[in-house]
Amino acid sequence: MAPATPSIPLAPRLSLRGITKRYPAVVANDAVDLTVQPGEIHALLGENGAGKSTLMKIIYGAVQPDAGEVRFNGQPVDIRGPQQARALGISMVFQHFSLFDTLSVAENVWLGLGRELSLAEVARRIEDKAQAYGLEVDPQRPVHTLSVGERQRVEIIRALLGEPQLLILDEPTSVLTPSAVDRLFEVLRRLAQQGCSIVYISHKLHEIRALCSACTVLRGGRVTGSCDPRAESEASLSRLMIGSDPPQLQHRPQKAGTAALTVRGLSVPRDDPFGTDLQGIHFELRTGEILGVAGVSGNGQRELLACLSGEDRRAPPGSIELRSQDVSRWSSAQRRTLGLHFVPEERLGRGAVPAMSLAHNTLLTRKEPIERGWWINRSRMRALAAHLIDRYDVRSGGPQSLAQSLSGGNLQKFIVGRELDAQPEVLIVAQPTWGVDVGATAQIRAALLALRDAGAAVLLVSEELDELFELADRLVVMSKGQLSPPMGRDQATTERIGQWMSGLWERT
């Protein structure tokens, strides 16, 4: 009997050796080694600005390394662009979405697929994938009508349609609800069982422990460790990532004051065919409190924020009062004169102008650098940006760095810091810690609590239930353009909020 032929071990799906990428102000990747096996879900962990996104863009061909070697399925490859990466079987979901606002969902997906498929066939495949994986998406909707959470679903489905051998996910659950995260994890585990390798970037340490079987840690562009996250605690992973435990928040109950923002009977029809009608919105936001707004993305949050911030000025007269003044038809700039500041959920394009420097981006909402006659004091402008960079630990090349050059988490810290530093009397903030590392998350949340303790009124819109439970004094839920009655912090449970997300509350 002939001896059994020994099995030949499979080559690593992905092997990086000595990958280095330098920019004028920073070394983003410094001789990075990384190995991902077939069917492995491999976490990449690190602070904002540690070099994770740059490394993934190199694998995807969107950025070219200065040195090092990339091997895919055991073969050396020189990936010169995303199209070549997709042809190899590499798909990526970016933290900053790469969608054309003026095109439909199906048209955006079609651009990344072969021309042999018709647009109608692409739309059908999107519907099939959406149904199979529980990611609700309408192929015909224009992208500009989608919320951030809905856009993320489009990006994930587009990546899955490529039937990838290697799937790179950069903060894929940042604006997904817990039930949607559970469905996504089922999808990822199924893909891994079928042999697909997954590189998973997330700052949510509990997700990494639950999903991943290997982890590589980056700090300052270098690999500083590796581990099996299933054998680690969240505290030990945090120490690997930032070198210390994150500071613990202290939410001290305090008595709320007078009404700072009052909304009565706010009903506004959708401004596009795929939007959500606001129907009889009513709530009161008081000084010295954080009111949290929970809900699945696409249920009217975008429309409500537009009305409250002054971007949409169609609110009926008398429906929005700020410090006892009717501001229903006021512009955003006029509302800022009464102390209202706003942090939108979209960083690039609304929170910041991508091609402008951080210094110039301060001028979007801050007037300190403006002198009489509307002259810009450039030294004061740069000093303000430098102050924000230092106070909120924004990893950048300085005030002259372009907004688009920052990592997602660092840009978020700058935008949130810009509005917090203005000492607003009313702050409306959407998804404040989206894509932000554990240390910066604690810093931003502590700053929001400090603002509340100083007497400001904060309206917090978030799809992170943990964040809402940690920060909010009272909670409301948004569903189908309507707002639930408020519930106290001690009354809020995951089960109750989940039920109310379907609109199942007793309307009074």
Percent of the chain with pLDDT over 90: 61
Residue 57 has, within 13 A of its CA and on its CB side, a CA count of 17
Common-topology check for domains 14-242 and 259-500: yes
Identify the pLDDT of residue 508: 44
How would you classify the pairing of strands 41-46 and 26-36? unpaired
In single-letter form, the type of residue at position 299 comes to N
Tens-digit pLDDT profile for residues 453-493: 999 999 999 988 889 999 999 999 999 999 999 999 889 88
On the question of pLDDT at 449 being above 90, the answer is yes
Element (H, E) at 391: helix 378-391
Check whether 5 has a pLDDT greater than 60. no
Q: Which of 47, 81, 63, 59 is nearest to 15 (CA)?
A: 59
Rounded distance between C-alpha atoms, residue 131 and residue 137, angstroms: 9
- CA end-to-end span of the chain, whole Å? 82
Helices (H), 77-226: 82-88, 105-111, 119-133, 148-161, 178-193, 205-211
Tell me what pLDDT residue 175 has. Answer: 64
pLDDT bucket at 3, cuts 50 / 70 / 90: low
Helix, coil or strand: residue 373: coil
pLDDT tens-digit map of 130-155: 888 777 889 999 998 887 778 888 88
Q: What is the pLDDT of residues 167-223, one digit of tens each?
A: 999 888 876 667 778 878 888 998 999 999 999 998 888 899 999 999 999 998 999
Q: How many beta carbons lie within 10 A of that of residue 446, not counting itself?
A: 17
Beta strands in 272-335 (DSSP E): 278-286, 289-294, 320-322, 325-326
How does strand 214-219 pair with strand 41-46?
A: parallel
- Rounded to an integer, what is the distance from CA 205 to the centroid of its chain? 16
**What DSSP letter does each residue of 266-282 carry, written as one string?**
EEE--SSTTS--EEEEE
Domain boundaries, the chain: 14-242, 259-500
pLDDT at 445 over 80: yes
pLDDT band at 68 (very low <50, low <70, confident <90, very high): very high
How high is the mean pLDDT of the chain? Answer: 90
- According to DSSP, residue 315 is labeled P
Rg (CA), the chain: 23
Q: Which whole-number Å values give the CA distances from 235 to 213, 240, 437, 471, in the listed order?
A: 18, 9, 14, 21
* Domain at 14-242, CATH homologous superfamily: P-loop containing nucleotide triphosphate hydrolases (3.40.50.300)
> Under DSSP, is residue 448 helix (H, G, I), strand (E, B) or coil?
helix
Q: pLDDT higher for 290 or 94? A: 290
pLDDT at 2: 53
CATH of domain 259-500: 3.40.50.300
Is pLDDT at 279 greater than 70 in this prediction? yes
Cα–Cα distance, 448 to 420 (Å, whole number)? 8
